[in-house]
Amino acid sequence: MQTVQFIRMSLDRSAARAMALIDDMKDAPLTFPTPNGGNHPLWVLGHMAWTEGEVHHIMLGRDNPLDKWKPVFGFGSEPTGVASDYPSFDEVKTAFLGLRAETIKLLDSLTDSDLDRTCECCPPEARQFIGTYAQCLMVLILNTMNHHGQVADARRAAGRKRLSV
Q: Which helix (H) or strand (E) holds 99?
A: helix 89-108
Contact indicator for 66, 50 with CB cutoff of 8 Å: yes
Residue 165 has pLDDT above 60, yes or no: no
Decide yes or no: CATH 1.20.120.450 for domain 3-75+87-157: yes
Mean pLDDT value of segment 135-146: 96
Closest by CA position to 88, among listed 15, 29, 154: 29
The domain limits of the chain are: 3-75+87-157
What are the tens digits of pLDDT across the range 87-116? 999 999 999 999 999 999 999 999 999 999
- pTM value is 0.95
